[in-house]
Copies of this chain bind each other. A is one copy, B any other.
Amino acid sequence: MITAIGFDADDTLWHNETIFEEYHGRFQALLARYHDPKTVERALYATEMRNLDLFGYGVKSFALSSIETAIELTGGAIPSDELRALVQMAKDMLAHPVELLDGATETVAALAADYRLIVITKGDLRHQERKFQRSGLALLVPHCDVVSEKDDATYARVLRRHGIAPEEFLMVGNSMRSDILPVLALGGHAAHIPYPLIWAHEECSAPSDCPRFHTLANLRELPVLLARHRQPGC
């Protein structure tokens, strides 16, 4: 019996990777005089992975890694004036309006009466909290837990704190690695809703055979899945 639902936020409730992709494009354009886009992209990703443990996720980490990459890829030749654009880029990303995915508000509103709802998101603390407030979903979802990593230990801690048993919990998200696999590992349920774009770091294959794993085309299919789950014998 599912009584509580966790929602990932970026690319599950609101658009995120589309914004990052736009800024990746701007970063490639900034370095176009020095290197082709593929080289720039590969170097940036390598820097991000090298810095991930220390920096964590989010826009400020991305900005610092992009500055480091720009200096590195140009052997220090890029004028510092051009690096100013990268700081501005971080500000623009942090101030970017929240654009909800189709059906997000309706789906959350439809489930709010019957389930305990939590947003569980990783990234920059203040940025995620601000997006949650601006999304309007804070009126429907009582908790937004911003975590620094989405692994088994984190989900176990979040569920313990809310007094939710894993077997009564369903996590909804676009990342197999961060939203699905750790929750299944704990004995919980998970609904994967792929987003058209995914950051290479989050790429991961689906679990092979697990009755607690579901794939949905979009958020609007979630109430149907849950209604089916409430039927006797399911």
Contacts and interface: CB of A to CB of B under 8 A. Distances in A.
A80 B71 contact: yes
Contact of A87 (B64, B80, B129, B147): B64
Contacts of A80: 70-71, 74, 76-80, 82-83
A50 B68 CA distance: 23
Interface in A125-152: 125-127, 129, 146-149
| Main SS at interface, chain A | helix
A192 interface: no
Interface string A167-179: 0000000000000
- Chain A interface size band reads 35 or more
Contacts of A68: 84, 87
Nearest to A84: B71
A126 B64 contact: no
A55 interface: yes
A91 interface: yes
Contact of A60 (B61, B77, B146, B149): B61
A90 B71 contact: no
Interface in A153-196: 161
Interface of A: 51, 54-56, 60-61, 63-64, 67-68, 70-72, 74, 76-84, 87, 90-91, 94-95, 124-127, 129, 146-149, 161
